[in-house]
Chain A
Amino acid sequence: MDISTPVVKKDHEVKMSGRAEYIADHPFPGEIWGTMVRSTVPFGKIRSIKLPDLPEGYTAVTADDVPGENLLKVVTSEQPIFAGDTVRFLGEGILMITGPDLTEVKRLAAETEVTYEEYEPVLSLDEATDTCAHYHFTKGRAMDEVFAEAAEVIEETFTTGYQEQAYLEPQGAVGVYKDGRAEIFGSMQCPYYVKNACKQTMGLDDDHVRIVQMTTGGGFGGKEDYPSLIGCQVAVAAKKTGHPVRMILNRREDMASTPKRHPSKITYKVALDGSKHITGIKADILLDAGAYAGLSDVVLQRSLLSAIGCYNIENTDITGAAMLTNLVSNGAYRGFGAPQSFFAIETMMDHIAYKLGKDPLDFKKEYFVKQGDITCSEGVFHHHVPIPEMLEKAEELTDYSSKYAEYKKPQTGRFRKGIGMSMVFHGCGFTGAAEKEFIKAVVKIHKYADDTVEILASNSDIGQGIKTTFAKIVAEGLGIPLSDVKIENPDTDRVPDSGPTVASRSLMIVGKLLERAAARLKAEWKPGEEQEVEEHYKHPDFMLPWDGKAFHGDAYPTYSWALNVVELELDTLTGQSRLLSVCGIFDVGKDIDRTIMVGQAQGGMLQGLGYGSIENMETKEGRVLQNSFTDYMIPTAEDTVPFQIAFIDNPYDGGPKGAKGAGELTLVGAAPAFEAAVEQASGKRFFSIPLTPEKVLMALSEKG
């Protein structure tokens, strides 16, 4: 049977019936509640903290209670677990009030008075001067020369806003401390990240920290790094109070104080020769990191590597920096730096095409990469690039070119139509040599005496279906029924560190290890006996070495590809648009389950459409203005239409059954396709997302 044939998901029944245990559903004997007292200023020194009278059983947990280092381990460690003497963003956690009654805990937290000596904060990317990461790398000739020889140079600047992950389940964790051992249960993507952070904060070794992922109500990157912070906070509180401490953020608190997609400002300078051919592109990318570096360095790397999009440009010069501000820290969100760049480069290419009097697709076709082409970091696109097949499929499904031609004719009346196309890739797995140098993934398959097996890996199912796809790979590899393959939520006492659930790596990297482990177990299979096999990451030998400082070499072993088409109708009276059709064509190597993969595509594309259109988040004086589901708008069922989705098989040897990274890819292309469609319908050019009705209507009301 084809591996893509859908199955009932491993976790379907437990979730469907409401029996799955999210952190809010699982009681801990003797548990008490915790709530953070958060900074009310964007930048300042804490002068004094005045606690209200704490009734018996109520406790304040502060930086002084941290047994180990009061610093959150992410890539490096900058952010305090509890702010010590300085706060760097509005909403930063200063201390925790704990106690048996949540209402009382909240009252006491609200009545805690903190005074500050306020410093001048940096409240926008434009004001920022300090970087926490920066890179510069080139391909081909010196850009000065290229520009000097150019017949024409076109420069444009693009901006992108925040995007909130808006997982339906808010962040939450319970900390337990007993017999010198800290345990954290929670909603999370990366149990071992939480473990490593907890070890550092609690001053404990490997054997004295245990992390258990509870059923997790969505992550999308938002539960990559933050669960480490909240986990450390409850662990410290549990040690101090002697009780399990539960902290679940309310939605407003979650939206205002947890990491989001980085706002960006991206400038392109493009050189054209006398025959209107692009000879070079200079890109400059600035990301708003927020108050602490966190994951920003790594996010920036992916932005930079996506800066030139799917185009083979002879000479490129790319600079970028992640800038520190006194705003909420930004972190991981599906796409991880790439959506900003792809929006910008796709729109830039459209704009150049319009300037040259060409249709965008015809113009882009002159530059699409193919196998063997050199990447912007002078690595190689080692594998087949199926852009021609994807274009053909898109024409078949959407009739893009004829619709484009039709909507290009002058339109009158209130409602006007437009169609837009984008082409994007996603570099599969971690950027650079991280898998080899830092992650070093390990998986185990344990075989029980009854000849059923259990997968032991640290990747968490956050809705993306990894329990099912892992199990399918192992069942297929062993030639046993799917029901004989067990997989539980990861518990670090039971599973090895197979790395985090990020970077679209779980299926490709860890799935491949499981495929190999299954093959070995099958070879060594002894009916009726308990057995265990373990597999370790092997770096692909075809890759060019990666130099992280020079930003040179193969940043990724391979790439997944996506083509998105968005067709819409624009209301010229309100600037609002209504989707008419949406199409996504994806090369994810080989889909391990068609229904799961369609689910990734459906959800990812709608998140991407939200990013491009209605998901507006701004700050004012350091405060997030849209901090609720009332004001931060994610699409509802009424805001979307049935999507057409197709896959192009293009198996990659480094992934199980040929599978490549898939989860993030699906989000990346929707925003630029939406923007292109609005541009066609309105006849206006735009430079920023979310492309809200406000921006559209203001452009339409300008004369000319």
Chain B
Amino acid sequence: MIEFTLNGKAVESQAGPTDRLLDVLRNEFGCRGPKEGCGEGECGACSCLVDGKLMNSCITPAGAVAGRTVVTLDGFRDTDQYKLLDQTFAEAGAVQCGFCTPGMIMAAQALLSKNPHPTEQEIRLAISGNLCRCTGYNMIINAISLAAERGKGLW
């Protein structure tokens, strides 16, 4: 049994230690934020935060989150930080097919929580493990940049 905190709640998973955290999140706990795009840690659609750090849940062994704190979009969307990102993603047109979006939001949060005033280049680096085929990235970068500008005190 693996115990950890998921989106603010203590949970217990029946998964094996090398089962994918992604499957645990989706199948055992009904999270819909993390998506499976590649299953190999290349696309970032499954991104979540583990102890505040960006991780690819598809290649994170479930056992590795024992005792840790996991946040997915399903929990993060209740925060004020999300609400601002929601506005700026809408304004910048950063969401097209939407499949990369939950991962992008987690990558944005991982960045802004460490660096509330990132440069454009820092934003590029921060989302460089999150593939998007629709937007060409620039609109997502604009959205994160707008959130940083407006997010006085939020991060």
Contact = CB atoms under 8 A, between A and B. Distances in A.
Interface of A: 6, 8-9, 11-13, 15-22, 24-25, 165-170, 215-220, 250-251, 462-465, 595-596, 598-599, 602-607, 628-630, 634-638, 640, 642-643
B98 interface: yes
B35 A637 contact: no
A170 B45 CA distance: 12
Contacts, number: 160
Given A595-B93, A603-B132, 7 more contacts: A24-B26, A24-B35, A167-B99, A168-B97, A629-B40, A630-B42, A637-B132
B136 A605 contact: yes
Nearest to A598: B93
B132 to A, nearest CB: 7
A485 B18 CA distance: 48
A463 B98 CA distance: 7
Contacts of B132: 168, 603, 637
A379 B38 CA distance: 45
A17 B73 contact: yes
A22 B131 contact: no
A8 B96 contact: no
B32 interface: yes
Contact of B97 (A216, A629, A634): A216
A168 B137 contact: no
Q: Which residue of A11, A17, A19, A220 has the most chain B CB atoms within 10 A of its CB atom?
A: A17
Given A18-B74, A166-B133, A640-B137, A218 B42 contact: no
Given A250-B39, A642-B138, A168 B95 contact: no
Interface string B124-155: 11011111111111111100000000000000
B interface majority secondary structure: loop
Interface of B: 26, 32-33, 35-40, 42-43, 45, 72-74, 77, 86, 89-93, 95-102, 105, 120, 123-125, 127-141
Contact of B138 (A18, A19, A168, A602): A602
Contacts of A640: 136-138
Contact of A18 (B96, B97, B102, B127): B102
Contacts of B33: 18
A interface majority secondary structure: loop
A599 B93 contact: yes
A8 B45 CA distance: 23
Contacts of B130: 637
A8 B87 CA distance: 9
Contact of B98 (A6, A15, A219): A15
Contact of B131 (A11, A165, A604, A629): A629
Contacts of B73: 17-18
Nearest to A248: B36
Given A16-B89, A251-B37, A642-B138, A169 B99 contact: yes
B89 A218 contact: no
Given A603-B96, A629-B43, A9 B38 contact: no
B138 to A, nearest CB: 5
A11 B140 CA distance: 16
5 contacts: A18-B32, A215-B98, A217-B35, A637-B130, A642-B138
A217 B99 contact: yes
